[in-house]
Amino acid sequence: MRYFIGIDSSTTATKALLIDEQGTVVAVAATEYDFSTPQPLWSEQEPDLWWHGTVHSIRQVLAQSAIDPQAVAGIGLTGQMHGLVLLDAGGNVLRPAILWNDQRTGAECDEIRRRLGKERLVAISGNDALTGFTAPKILWVQKHEPEIWQRTRHLLLPKDYVRFKLTGGHACDVADGAGMLLFDLKARTWSAELLAALEIPESLLPETYEGPAVTGQLSAAAAQATGLPAGLPVMAGGGDQAAGAIGVGAVRSGIVSLALGTSGVVFATTDGPFVEPEGRLHAFCHSVPGRWHLMGVMLSAAGSLRWHRNTFAPASSYDELLAPAAAIPAGSEGLLYLPYLTGERTPYPDPLARGAFVGLTVRHTLPHLSRAVLEGVAFGLRDSFELIKNAGKVVVEQVRVSGGGAKSPLWRQILADIFAAELVTVNTTEGAAFGAALLAGVGAGAWPDVDSACQQTIQVTGSTLPNAQTAERYARAYTHYRALYPALKPTFDAVAS
């Protein structure tokens, strides 16, 4: 029996997951850490936290499983996207990594659009310039820390710093690379035009690989640190969203992944490099060779429900809060909820957007508000679905839902009705780390390709079908929901100022 390890270096912890050749999860361990906010809107992290977390978590899964480390046949990597790691010629970290949720680069985003034009930028990269992406962070360092920039010899993403510590090499997968805003989406590699416009030498960037490809071998030093055998192949892996989609089997067109956590992510695999012309969707390469994906992001999905419970019913469990909401008619008797509690990204990249209840009357009770929150989040996620269907000509056959919000049967039914599509759950719950482990298995030959790996390890465990009558009622309510943001945008801006 051979085994494979998936490493997921997220913003708050590094997880190691060990699976066997049947895709059975044998052991899981996570090492937590924090990030810093040295100034308002800034978000930074020391890269060595990811490495120490990797070492500790790998040793934990080896101890839990008691397997012979020689039986491990490959490592796949995933992690938080868009972060900027700068190394000097000796491989030393020059400054703390600037993370995906850092918001300091608004001026740099404007500068990128000025140099290229938004239309050309979206046509090449598939994306508009947003503060979360890596390229604006690079421009910020060029302008504000020129002495650091002059010493920079390597630009890496967070998980690829872990790769560097494991193998001593500099490499990146195409899915994570596409999230830097420096990629030619169609060519699946760095764009010479973007690099020239932003004055970034290509020599600073790592070589790119498809998700299952071998990018290097475990060094003697990393073997000693982790307890794994030297020479173990390390595969490219993928950014956390692409690896997470593999982890639930969303690897072909028609199967859409919906991650319903604090934020909400709608992820659709496409057979071509489709682009939403206004850049309202993210368009990246997939970790599946020869495929791409479109992605919409809502900032406060299950986060909206958590806020609602903590504010109005802190002593109640989620089940207790939502049970009475099941008796409220679809549409919450005219009550609508906007889920923009922390601004929004899709379809409105607007940090000043705000949440709202609209249509309140004396008839409405707490159960009405609870159901309206569930419906409002579902309407907001449908915005991403509509953009995806229009941009990529994607026919949604099935939605695979995961995350904490997926535990609610009522919310699953509401989502199925509002999307007018089948909603299913699957047997895998470890997300990106599981996807990274599958990519390692494909690279090591345990499965011939990613599709086969998912077919053999991932099974549907539950299905929620839409109710045609309720779906029609929600379709009418959705038109009212869509009118709210344009109407309230001037108010949001005024209140924020």
CA 376 to the chain's CA centroid: 21
* Tokens of residue 101, six digits: 């949720």
Rounded to whole angstroms, the Cα distance separating 35 from 22 reads 36
Write down the residue that tokens 């109710």 correspond to. 467
**pLDDT score of 396:** 87
* Tokens of residue 61, six digits: 């899964």
Positive or negative torsion for Cα 95, 96, 101, 103: negative
What three-state secondary structure class fits 169? coil
CA 229 to the chain's CA centroid: 31
* Tokens of residue 372, six digits: 């309206």
* Tokens of residue 20, six digits: 């066997």
240 is catalytic: yes
Residue type, 135: A
Superfamily the domain 249-427+467-497 falls into: ATPase, nucleotide binding domain (3.30.420.40)
Residue type, 85: V
3-242 is a CATH 3.30.930.10 domain? no
Pairing between β-strand 292-298 and β-strand 264-270 as defined by DSSP bridges: antiparallel
**pLDDT score of 403:** 87
Q: Measuring CA to CA, how many Å separate 299 from each of 51, 126, 158, 259, 406? A: 28, 21, 21, 12, 16
Decide: 330 and 367 in contact? Cβ < 8 Å. no
Q: Measuring CA to CA, how many Å separate 364 from each of 259, 311, 325? A: 30, 17, 11
Which candidate in 8, 128, 176, 240 is catalytic?
Answer: 240
Question: Peptide bond preceding 367: is omega within 30 degrees of 0, i.e. cis?
Answer: no
What three-state secondary structure class fits 190? strand
Decide: 398 and 199 in contact? Cβ < 8 Å. no
**pLDDT score of 264:** 93
So where are the chain's domains? 3-242, 249-427+467-497
Decide: 190 and 202 in contact? Cβ < 8 Å. yes
- Asked whether this chain's domains 3-242 and 249-427+467-497 adopt the same fold, the reply is yes
Decide: 391 and 249 in contact? Cβ < 8 Å. no
Decide: 48 and 9 in contact? Cβ < 8 Å. no
DSSP 338-390: E--BTBB-SS--BTT---EEES--TT--HHHHHHHHHHHHHHHHHHHHHHHHH
What is the chain's pLDDT, residue by residue, as a tens digit (497 residues)?
Answer: 999 999 999 999 999 999 999 999 999 999 999 999 999 889 999 999 999 999 999 999 999 999 999 999 999 999 999 999 999 999 999 999 999 988 899 999 999 999 999 999 999 999 999 998 999 999 999 999 999 999 999 999 999 999 999 999 999 999 999 999 999 999 999 999 999 999 999 999 999 999 999 999 999 999 999 999 999 999 999 999 999 999 999 999 999 999 998 889 999 999 999 999 888 999 999 999 999 999 999 989 999 999 999 999 999 999 999 999 999 999 999 999 999 998 898 999 888 899 999 999 999 999 999 999 999 999 999 999 999 988 877 888 899 999 889 999 999 999 999 999 999 999 998 989 999 999 999 999 999 999 999 999 999 999 999 999 999 999 999 999 999 999 999 999 999 88
Decide: 227 and 191 in contact? Cβ < 8 Å. no
